[in-house]
């Protein structure tokens, strides 16, 4: 039996505005580096009001990172400086490696009821590959395997391997696992994770226990203050759980099911110089990137 990971920290997603005026919830970002290394940011964009998202993310550059977009409802139209165009539909994933540099735009549209729901995760690239040629992996819903365990737990495998079934996103530098998991009510889910990897869960819907010991005072909770005496390890939507060391995670439910993203990756343990959509290792590299963007030499690979 493996060593079950305890909860290290809980983060509650917070409202923020990005792009040209998109209202979203940020689970973690700049203020939390390098706690979630190799991951930099996770945004949850979820609204039934087109005014919250319709202005989208007009043309902007990226360098040094990967952006992973996973859509539950609505659509996101995208285009870039290399002439790529496409639409991300519900259930699809776009794994974009910005590498040496890309200029693109992402314009969301709601479904027939005006609903949009999805997630964008940023993963860092190591110094040795920050200037690699950009690439897209447009992963269609039909290519993402879904398995059902004996307990009734359902798992969509975007990246990684579960019970011999491998997800379509492979050969990524940080050796990531990206799962969409639904644990049914009154059941348990134990899952092996790689020792030394950063492991986190972001709750989409429902509620459950993410600490087998159910010790609500064993970890740090960000967003609470000295006078907040209520502590509970029964986690619900818009909570991000960062796990401590170990080689398994264990989640249990009571009367309700819980749906969450389970994400892990190999830490890079490198310096981070980050400004806006560009993440490098030194301030000098950042300066060069923005100078190149201004003078038209930003795009290195076409």
- pLDDT tens, 4-41? 999 999 999 999 999 999 999 999 999 999 999 999 99
> Considering the chain, what percentage of its residues have pLDDT values greater than 90?
85
Given a cut of 60, whether residue 223 has pLDDT beyond it is no
Task: For strands 258-265 and 198-209, give the pairing.
Answer: antiparallel
- pLDDT over 70 percentage in the chain: 94
Asked if the structure places residue 20 within a domain, the reply is: yes
Q: What is the pTM of this model?
A: 0.95
d(CA 156, CA 92): 11
Would 11 be classed as within a structural domain? yes
In angstroms, the CA 282 to CA 243 distance is 29
Domain assignment present for 302? no
Helix segments in 94-149, DSSP class H? none
Q: How far apart are CA 241 and CA 225, in angstroms?
A: 18
Q: Is residue 1 part of a domain?
A: no
- The beta-strand segments (E) located in 188-272 are 188-192, 198-209, 220-222, 234-236, 239-243, 248-252, 258-265
Distance between CA atoms of residues 153 and 15, nearest Å: 30
Closest CA to 49 of 68, 21, 70: 21
CATH of the domain at 29: 2.60.120.10
Taking all residues of the chain, what is their mean pLDDT, rounded to a whole number? Answer: 93
Domain count, the chain: 1
Residue 211 has what pLDDT? 86
Instruction: Kindly state the average pLDDT of the residues 168-191.
Output: 95
Euclidean distance between CA atoms 148 and 279, whole angstroms: 38
Segment (H or E) for 289: helix 283-295
| pLDDT tens, residue by residue, 91-120 | 999 999 999 999 999 999 999 999 999 999
Question: Rounded CA gap, 84 and 72, in Å?
Answer: 22
Quick check: is 84 in a domain?
yes
d(CA 184, CA 166): 22
Higher pLDDT, 227 or 119: 119
| Angstrom distances, CA of residue 58 to CA of 67, 120, 136, 151 | 16, 16, 18, 44
Task: Report residue 222 as tokens.
Answer: 């960000």
Assign 3-state DSSP to the chain and report helix, strand, coil percentages, each to 5. 10, 50, 40
pLDDT of the residue at 227: 47
Residues whose CB is less than 8 angstroms from the CB of residue 15 and which lie 6 or more positions away in sequence, other chains included: 23, 24, 25, 26
Task: Identify the pLDDT of residue 226.
Answer: 47
Q: Is the peptide bond preceding residue 38 cis, with omega within 30 degrees of 0?
A: yes
Three-state SS for 246? coil
- Higher-confidence residue: 228 or 291? 291
pLDDT in the model for residue 229: 45
Is-contact 193 177, C-beta < 8 A?
Answer: yes
In a domain, 90, yes or no: yes
Give the residue-averaged pLDDT of 184-202.
97
Cβ(104)–Cβ(59) below 8 Å: yes
Owning domain of residue 20: 7-295
Quick check: bond before 212 cis, omega within 30? no
pLDDT at 231 over 60: no
The mean pLDDT value for 166-180 works out to 94
């Amino acid at each position: 039996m493996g060593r079950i990971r305890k909860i290290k920290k809980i983060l509650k997603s917070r409202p923020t505005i990005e792009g040209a005026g998109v209202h979203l919830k940020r689970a973690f970002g700049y203020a939390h580096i390098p706690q979630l290394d190799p991951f930099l940011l996770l945004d949850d964009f979820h609204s039934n009001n087109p005014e919250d998202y319709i202005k989208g993310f007009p043309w902007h550059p990226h360098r040094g990172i990967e952006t992973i977009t996973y859509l539950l409802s609505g659509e996101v139209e995208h285009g870039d400086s290399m002439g790529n165009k496409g639409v991300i539909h519900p259930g699809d994933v776009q794994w974009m490696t910005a590498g040496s540099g890309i200029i693109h735009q992402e314009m969301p549209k709601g479904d027939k009821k005006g609903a949009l729901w999805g997630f964008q995760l940023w993963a860092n690239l190591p110094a040795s590959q920050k200037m690699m040629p950009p690439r897209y992996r447009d992963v269609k819903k039909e290519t993402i395997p879904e398995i059902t365990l004996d307990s009734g737990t359902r798992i969509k495998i975007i990246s990684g391997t579960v019970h011999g079934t491998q997800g379509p996103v492979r050969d990524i530098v940080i050796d990531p696992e990206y799962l969409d998991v639904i644990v049914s009510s009154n059941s348990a889910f134990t899952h092996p994770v790689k020792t030394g990897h950063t492991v986190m869960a972001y709750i989409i819907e429902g509620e459950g226990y993410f600490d087998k010991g159910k010790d609500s005072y064993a970890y740090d909770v960000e967003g609470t203050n000295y006078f907040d005496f209520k502590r509970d390890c029964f986690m619900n939507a818009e909570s991000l759980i960062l796990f401590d060391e170990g080689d398994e995670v264990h989640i249990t439910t009571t009367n309700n099911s819980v749906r969450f993203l389970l994400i892990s990756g190999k830490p890079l343990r490198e310096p981070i110089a980050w400004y806006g959509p560009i993440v490098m290792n030194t301030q000098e590299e950042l300066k060069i990137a923005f100078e190149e963007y201004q003078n038209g030499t930003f795009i290195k690979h076409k």
